[in-house]
Amino acid sequence: MTRPLVVVADPSAVFRAGLRVVAERDRAFAVCEARDLDELLARARVEAPDIAVLDLELPPVGGPKALERLASDRPIPTLVWSLHPTPEGVLAAVSAGALGFVSKTIGATDLLGALRRLLVGEPALEPELAGMLVAAVQRSHDAQRARESLLSHRERHVLELVAAGLRNREIAGELEISEFTVKRHVQNILRKLELPSRRAAAALHAGLLGSAGSTGAA
């Protein structure tokens, strides 16, 4: 029976070797390696791994962006790991689509357990990292609430309608104000929230802080 294939993408040859030694000794997984994003994408295309393990700092763009590229190319259940996990790092990885996050100080048994969970599509998050994730999400919500508190009652109402996908003319009709006034409200919202576009404002309102700053044009 063919063993599931893990691609481990990490700039550190020591950690790649560590995972290989543990996985192959257990005979549960076969392992292939990548040092950076380009090698990861090439491995994913050629060898079609079943799961991926990505370093949070994978060169040249970091694990979360690498994960997005991998997902657009060939989606694979992915575990992100880091030697020094932070709440923001865990949140960024999970927001980018990681199914799990572990510290690189994880023991062999726990790592194999996490890989097995990924293989059946279950999330894998160490308890202390789950706490970090909750804290990071909470901070994001707090920041969102703080930013939205800068808006007037009318601007908040306009933002809700923008987030609901209404155009300026439709918002004007809904609120019984001119389209020009709606446009001015939207400009004020973007300025106060320091956002590049109404799509970003809508995403922020929906709680999608991770992608709010990079969404499309106004």
Nearest approach in angstroms of CB 107 to other proteins is: 5
The contact mask relative to other proteins for 3-22 (x = CB under 8 A, - = no) is --------xxxxx-xxxxxx
Our CB check for other proteins shows the closer of 109 and 187 to be: 109
CB-based contact 218:103 (threshold 8 Å): no
Bridge partners (DSSP) listed for residue 22: none
Nearest approach in angstroms of CB 16 to other proteins is: 8
Our CB check for other proteins shows the closer of 124 and 158 to be: 124
Is residue 208 at the binding interface for other proteins, with CB under 8 A as the rule?
Answer: no
Nearest approach in angstroms of CB 85 to other proteins is: 13
Q: Contacts from 101-105 at CB under 8 Å and sequence distance 24+?
A: 101/125, 101/126, 101/129, 101/133, 102/126, 102/129, 103/128, 103/129, 104/15
Q: For residues 76-115, which are near other proteins according to CB under 8 A?
A: 83, 104-108, 111
Q: How far apart are CA 28 and CA 17, in angstroms?
A: 16
Gap between the terminal Cα atoms of the chain: 53
CB-based contact 63:57 (threshold 8 Å): yes
Is residue 51 at the binding interface for other proteins, with CB under 8 A as the rule?
Answer: no
Nearest approach in angstroms of CB 22 to other proteins is: 6
Contacts to other proteins by CB under 8 A: 11-15, 17-22, 83, 104-108, 111
